[in-house]
Structure 1
Amino acid sequence: MQTLDETKRTAILEAATNRFTRYGVRKTTMQEIAQDVGIAVGTLYLYFKNKKTIIIAVAETFTQSETATDIAKSRKRADRLLKAFLLSRFAVIEAARNSGDHAAELTLAVLKLKPEFKQTQDQRFRATVYQILQKGIDQGIFEINHLEQDLTVFLYSIGYFFPMPTSEQYHVPEADKLAMVIDWFIQKWQP
């Protein structure tokens, strides 16, 4: 069995992301992606069996973030960790939104290929925020009597700042406003 080069796989995903955001999913071909990376199309097919698998891999790469396990191991105070995590996720989404005119097309392609993708990402995001809040309780930084309820209210409150670009007409949230909402909750949760 042939061992595939992770650096080359990363280069393929970067080239695909650039093509998808600049020209759109429909107008991007496997040949163009291979050409951008400087590899033969046959080599590209060793890494991804078709364009659909590249689309899913691009989406999964985009949504990777600190996991609940990483959060639990972090030595940061939970209040700082919460703010850093959410602002970093915001920055990633904002960068994707500003990377080209085809964010909506890419999002819709991912949801068509893998309808459960958004739900999986939402669950991962929720689990990570839950882990941070629990860490804050354990550290004595947060006093939260009804964690599940507070978590749900908090996630609804910040949901505005994380729009899924499924159309070209979505609002443009601001990082400083997100920070203000996070700070408000952190202050309310302090003992």
Structure 2
Amino acid sequence: MIIQTLSLSCEAMSEKTDTREQILEAAMNRIKHYGYGKTTMSEIAKDCCMSAGNIYRFFGSKIDIAEAMARQFNAELYQTYSEIARGSESPPARLRKIFHHGLSQTYDAIKREAKILEVAEVLGEERPLFMNEGLAQERIYLCMILEDGVEQGVFAPIADCNYTAEMIQSGLMKYRFPQLFSRLTLVKLQRELNGVLDIMIAGLQRGVERTPENEC
């Protein structure tokens, strides 16, 4: 049966010590197969060999499980971003590397598990603060690179690093969840991303004044 292939056996589950991780693993397996909308908390509980009431001790709702899934994915992404930001390559190269890594990782994850895109859409609608938190975390690494670029004389002085990083993110939003915004192949998206980054990096090297006239 399909459920048998998706779920861990009760015996295997009992050998695990972290119940929260058991629930998250079972939920991920089910959501990847059936989709977020067609997955219920009672089904996840059954896969974990526990009562539906017990699962709410660990996750208050299905959207909490979706957020936990996204946090797990992001944790690995941010670890790589941190390593790139602290790397020895030139600031422009590091800037490219961060966005290309994010594009390829997300594109490949959604290509492998198409139902994950549904989770991203739901989180965007129901947990905008979580999405904003992720963008703020990413800006930490972007600012590290931008500040290095200014210090090395590669980029022109930047009055507000966080603002500049935010505008870079806004300009590259299409490449954050590529299949949500486009039907292009990864190769074509990478070409586009390089072109946009060419323009952004040229602007950073030349310098752009931030004035009230530039703002709405």
Give the TM-score taking structure 2 as reference length.
0.61
**CA distance in structure 1 between the partners assigned to 2:171 and 2:60 by the alignment:** 40
For 1:66, what is the secondary structure of its paired residue? Answer: helix
The superposition leaves residues 28-57 of structure 1 with CA deviations (integer Å, 9 ceiling, x where unpaired) of 245765777xx5336x94764654432220
**CA distance in structure 1 between the partners assigned to 2:129 and 2:38 by the alignment:** 25
Question: Aligned-pair RMSD on alpha carbons?
Answer: 3.8
Partner in structure 2 of residue 179 of structure 1: 194
Partner in structure 1 of residue 147 of structure 2: 134
Cα deviation for residue 186 of structure 1 reads 3.0
Letter in 2 for 1:16: A
**CA distance in structure 1 between the partners assigned to 2:29 and 2:154 by the alignment:** 42
User: Pick from 101, 125, 149: which aligns with 1:88?
Assistant: 101
Change (3 A) 1:184 1:21: same
For 1:41, what is the secondary structure of its paired residue? Answer: coil
Contact 1:141 1:190 in 2 (8 A): yes
Structure 2 residue ranges without an equivalent (≥5): 1-15, 207-216
**CA distance in structure 2 between the partners assigned to 1:130 and 1:172 by the alignment:** 31
Cα deviation for residue 164 of structure 1 reads 7.6
Q: Determine which structure has greater relative contact order: mean sequence separation of CA pairs < 8 Å that are 6+ residues apart, divided by chain length.
A: 1
Partner in structure 2 of residue 41 of structure 1: 50
Cα deviation for residue 58 of structure 1 reads 0.5
Number of aligned residue pairs: 181
For 1:185, what is the secondary structure of its paired residue? Answer: helix
User: Pick from 120, 137, 153: which aligns with 1:107?
Assistant: 120
Structure 1 residue ranges without an equivalent (≥5): none
**CA distance in structure 2 between the partners assigned to 1:142 and 1:22 by the alignment:** 46
**CA distance in structure 2 between the partners assigned to 1:72 and 1:120 by the alignment:** 20
For 1:131, what is the secondary structure of its paired residue? Answer: helix
**CA distance in structure 1 between the partners assigned to 2:85 and 2:18 by the alignment:** 26
- Name which of structure 1's ranges 122-131 and 45-54 shifts more when overlaid on structure 2: 45-54
Give the TM-score taking structure 1 as reference length.
0.68
Change (3 A) 1:189 1:156: same
Matched, 1:60 2:71: yes
**CA distance in structure 2 between the partners assigned to 1:131 and 1:29 by the alignment:** 42
